[in-house]
Chain A
Amino acid sequence: MIQAVMVMSTQGKPRLLKFYSFQPPEKHQDLVRGVFQLLSARPDSVSNFVQADAIFGPGVKLVYKHLATLYFVFVFDSSENELAMLDLVQVFVETLDKCFKNVCELDVVFNFNKLHTILDEMILGGQVIETSSEQIMRSVEEIARLEKQSNTTSLIPKSISERFSR
């Protein structure tokens, strides 16, 4: 089971936190800090796996990927395959790239709700449900389309009426 997905900057700032097994909110920052210390201490060109039992409990591992200014971290237990998780990170990043057209950190910062949407399409309750980035994109676009529809319909009358009421 996947326990958490984290995206954080190379400065240690969280950009996205999603926990699939409950962690009390006051602990989140400690977890982020712990993971960041772990990752920042690792040199380049070593493996992408880290045993994180000191932070998350026994048997928990994490896979991370360092891309430009961000760390993408997936935390999971022994029932997942490390290499597959690494590819899941890849799927996630590929999807982001398709979604934002050459994604950069700013996109991630400002659209973290969209990131959550994408993750919800990939992972549900800690289990992987979709791994094809095209499929994920299709769902996300569909959601965006429908959202926009209902958004504009609800928006125009309201804003106009507001203008006119002045």
Chain B
Amino acid sequence: MTNGEFFIDYSRCIGCEACVQACGECDTHRGVSMIHLETIERRDSVQTAPQICMHCEDPICAQVCPADAIKKTPDGVVQSSLKPRCIGCSNCVMSCPFGVPKYQIDIDQMMKCDMCYDRTSVGKKPMCATVCPSGALTFTTMQDIQRTRQGVPVNEWRFGVEIVRTKVYVMVPKEVTRVDVDLVQIATTAAALPPDPYDVALMLES
């Protein structure tokens, strides 16, 4: 692996879906896109945000796996579940603080972003970071990101009282040293809204 690090900056996402398409090109999960591209508040805003695996130092997905099927490589990349072991229970999907793992119902296996391990293990950039035009997903050196961005990269998170450290960094304002995650409630929930038969975006999402 090169000395590059992965940096995510949700606020830069323009929702172009280049990352979604490129992700499926990766050899380790060929044809299946592992990245999540979320529309934040579907009917009120065009805001979108990508979510890749943050590759936790002590992955909660691996801790709650009953089959002991999720392993981390020596260079800190948390891999998709081991095919011979995964029993498709979805504990990892439901426990990941970042909502990353995907349960593939057709093959009864959990798959997730593995930072394009076929590429990053030989010094190349992950597919999503290669194609992202806005810098929401960036794979570069720490010096480079500090030189070119306003914020600072942080890789420590707090969910409730659970502290999670990740291999991937998020860009935050300079005074922030840790992301304390609280629930940001939304004004109107999807469940509360009246059904709109012409909401094409919602149809695509579902």
Partners in one complex: no
- The residues of A with any CB-CB pair to B shorter than 8 Å are none
